[in-house]
Amino acid sequence: MAAPAALQRSVVSPAGRHTASLIFLHGSGDTGQGARGWIKQILNQDMAFQHIKVIYPTAPARPYTPMKGAFSNVWFDRYKISNDCPEHIESIDSMCRGLTDLINDEVKNGIAKNRILIGGFSMGGGMAMHLAYRFHQDLAGVFALSSFLNKDSAVYQALKRNESALPELFQCHGTADELVLYSWGEETNKMLKSLGVSASLHTFPNLNHELSRTEIEKLKSWIVKKLPVEASETNQ
Q: Check if 30 is active-site.
A: no
One of 10, 77, 147, 177 is an active-site residue; which one? 177
Per annotation, catalytic residue among 46, 88, 200, 209: 209
- The question of whether 101 is a catalytic residue gets the answer no
Under 8 Å CB-to-CB from 193, ≥6 apart: which residues?
199
Q: Can you tell me the distance from the alpha carbon of 25 to that of 217, in angstroms, rounded to the nearest whole number?
A: 18
- 177 as an active site residue: the answer is yes
Instruction: Identify the active-site residue in 122, 146, 147, 153.
Output: 122
Residues with catalytic function: 122, 177, 209
